[in-house]
Structure 1
Amino acid sequence: MSHSIAEAAAASGLTPDTLRYYEKDGLMLRPVERSTTGHRRYSDADLRWIELINRLRGTGMPIRDVRRYAELVRHGDGNEQERLDLLRAHRVHVLAQLAEVQEHLGAIDRKIGIYTDKIEAALDLERAPTA
């Protein structure tokens, strides 16, 4: 099945301009097919690849590393160790980001606890019987 650029954009959550950029910048695995009228036609495999690019980018992988990964995949078998090394290095980066975000979340949770305690204490004083 093939999809227009508008359909691919809707399916991927990207803009048509971003899809064109991915193609122009060498991030796609293969050239996107064209219809007889010259319009881009994205295959289901293209959409799966775009989803992976989105996930890599969404976790902070630099474009140069996504491009390198795409190059390695395009070259086919024989470079799996390089692919693995690239993905493992990125995984370490993502885990460090996650740990940092968890620390930030802990700080937010502590502040929420402080304000919750203050509000509950104030409510308890309001409810206390007067002498």
Structure 2
Amino acid sequence: MGLSIGEVAQRSGLSVHALRFYEREGLFANPVRRLSNGRRIYDEEDLEWLAICTKLRSSGMPLVVIRQYIELVRQGPGNEHERLELLRQHETHVETQIRELQDTLAVMRLKVRIYEDHIARGEADRLWNPSHPAAAQAGTQQECHPPEST
């Protein structure tokens, strides 16, 4: 018989509101079926597609690109190279995001080390503090520009 919108929400982790949004935005690979009373009905294939679609969204793929990809899928065989190109472009985008996040993580780890070191030495007041009279001195430099030894 199929799955109700509530069952799909529970199994997919998406809210009912999000599922309706996906439908309105044309983000399902197949049109959402409806029963004679107007209730939406889904199948396992819809759940599989939602799993892919939510990963594409969470990785930053714009809705317009997801729609392009879906349209190509709906057209059927013969456009696999176009689909592949969309996926490759997004793969490159995700790899760039990962590198940027790794750089950000490295900065955060460094700042955590600096704070831990200052707190352990009882010198937390030497960390950057714009209202502290010594803000322009070594404490500022140490937080913004770590010593050569770190």
Query: Which TM-score tier does this pair reach, normalised by the shorter chain?
Result: 0.7 to 0.9
Give runs of aligned pairs for residues 1-131 of structure 1, distance below 5 A.
Answer: 2-122=2-122
Q: Distance in 2 between matches of 1:119 and 1:25?
A: 51
Structure 2 length as normaliser, TM-score?
A: 0.75
The secondary structure found in structure 1 opposite 2:67 is helix
One-letter amino acid matched to 1:15: S
The percent identity for this pair of structures is: 46
User: Gaps (5+ residues) in structure 1?
Assistant: 123-131
Distance apart, 1:49 and its partner CA: 0.4
Q: Distance in 1 between matches of 2:30 and 2:71?
A: 10
Which 4+ stretches in 1 moved above 6 angstroms?
none
> Comparing both structures, which one devotes a greater share of its residues to helix?
1
Structure 1 length as normaliser, TM-score?
A: 0.85
Q: Distance in 1 between matches of 2:66 and 2:12?
A: 17
User: Gaps (5+ residues) in structure 2?
Assistant: 123-150
